[in-house]
């Protein structure tokens, strides 16, 4: 799984990527966490994208440090999902309200 944070946004500039990578590693999620200059989520800044081959990709925005646990839980569920789809969004916590895009795999 590849996890990409917007480096232009406050969360990306604040060193969140290493903390997210550590949380995912501690949760047993194999992920490459990187940053890019911009994810074009500027109307809802502090964006992060999750993608994996053959799976639906997700883009979340309006993120803060407080979303670390929900992002980790999402990554665990995403890793276990065969296609990246979720029939029930409630286990995603606050992230279900922060989705900017869901892109079919």
Question: Measured in whole angstroms, how far is the alpha carbon of residue 38 from the centre of its chain?
Answer: 15
Question: How many other C-beta atoms lie within 10 A of the C-beta of residue 77?
Answer: 14
pLDDT at 14: 85
Q: pLDDT by residue for the chain (105 residues), tens digit each?
A: 999 999 999 888 888 999 999 999 999 999 999 999 999 999 999 999 999 999 999 999 999 999 999 999 999 999 999 999 998 989 899 999 999 999 998
pLDDT at 12: 87
pLDDT at 104: 93
Whether the pTM exceeds 0.85: the reply is yes
Q: CA quadruple 89, 54, 66, 43: dihedral positive or negative?
A: negative
pLDDT at 13: 86
Q: For residues 14-40, b (16+ Cβ closer than 10 Å) or e, as one string? A: eebbeebbebbeeeebebebebeeebe
Which structural domain range is residue 47 located in?
2-103
The count of structural domains within the chain is: 1
pLDDT at 105: 84
Paired residues of 58 in beta bridges: 50, 102
């Amino acid at each position: 799984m590849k996890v990409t944070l917007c480096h232009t946004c406050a969360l990306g500039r604040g060193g969140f990527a290493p903390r997210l990578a550590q949380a995912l590693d501690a949760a047993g999620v194999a992920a490459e966490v990187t940053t890019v200059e911009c994810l074009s989520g500027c109307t809802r800044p502090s964006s992060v994208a999750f993608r994996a081959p053959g799976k639906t990709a997700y883009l979340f925005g309006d993120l803060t440090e407080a979303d670390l646990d929900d992002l980790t839980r999402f990554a665990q569920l995403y890793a276990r999902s065969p296609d990246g789809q979720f029939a029930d969004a409630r286990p995603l916590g606050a992230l279900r309200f922060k989705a900017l895009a869901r892109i079919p795999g």
